[in-house]
Amino acid sequence: MANISRVAVVTGAASGIGAATAVRLAADGNAVAVLDLPDTGYAETVEAIESAGGRAIGLAVDVTDRDGLAAAMAQVADELGTVSILVNNAGYSHDLPIQDMTFQQWDDMTSVHLDAAFCTSRAVQPGMAAQGFGRIVNISSTSALGTAGRVGYSAAKSGVIGFTKALALELGPIGVTANVVAPGFIVSRMTAKTARRLGRDFDEHQEIAANGIPVGRVGRPEDIANAVSFFAGDAAGYVSGQVLFVAGGPRG
């Protein structure tokens, strides 16, 4: 385990991409704040980091609760120090055609993916500006390019890209980079949910997906964590406002 050098926040870090990213950033030498909903198992991510010799804290927070999220970000700064790395990963999807989606479901999608990213980015900006260093990595999706039956999710994830590019332009002069990682098919609760909706066994669903992926396999959470690790490190200081599709082939 490397020496702890910076403080990172990862939202939606109880499982899947978020958990893998939190573990990877800790292995890179950062203290990590693991944020997720209550009763999601985020403590297991903290335990995994600590058992490997890293430092982490876990906070129960609903990213759609603006006041609660702002308070959680303040608590991270109090307990770990100024946040240098922010990963907005929390998300979910409704697989619904437009006629079946309610306005509340549309609003929920925007709240989780866009409002939360705005809130956390706004919270960390002063500290990053003061230290002249910051890394913001937002998780989008290949669905940002458009996916049938996912109008809300596709719109929100596309919005994440525009939000991030604007941040890169605004915050670059103060030493802060902002980039996007856009996963393709990743083995996760979300893709397992899609398999159930389609009436497929999850293994079968993965095999079908892999047949359409140039590298011949589906992605794992660690594939996304590796990309986030690059954007979060010193080596990516000249990379900002970019979208990296981690999808086993060319996208975007």
Other C-beta atoms lying within 10 Å of the C-beta of residue 58: 22
Question: d(Cα 229, Cα 24) in Å, to the nearest integer?
Answer: 7
115 burial (CB, 10 Å; 0-12 / 13-18 / 19+) is middle
β-partners of residue 244 are: 181
Encoded tokens for 77: 């700064």
Question: d(Cα 174, Cα 108) in Å, to the nearest integer?
Answer: 32
Encoded tokens for 140: 């989008």
β-partners of residue 180 are: 138, 243
Radius of gyration for the alpha carbons in the chain, expressed in angstroms and rounded: 17
Locus of tokens 């129960």 = 60
Q: How far is CA 100 from CA 105, 148, 198, 243, in A?
A: 10, 13, 17, 31
165 burial (CB, 10 Å; 0-12 / 13-18 / 19+) is middle
Encoded tokens for 166: 């604007």
Q: Is there a catalytic annotation at residue 92? A: no
The residues annotated as belonging to the active site are 153
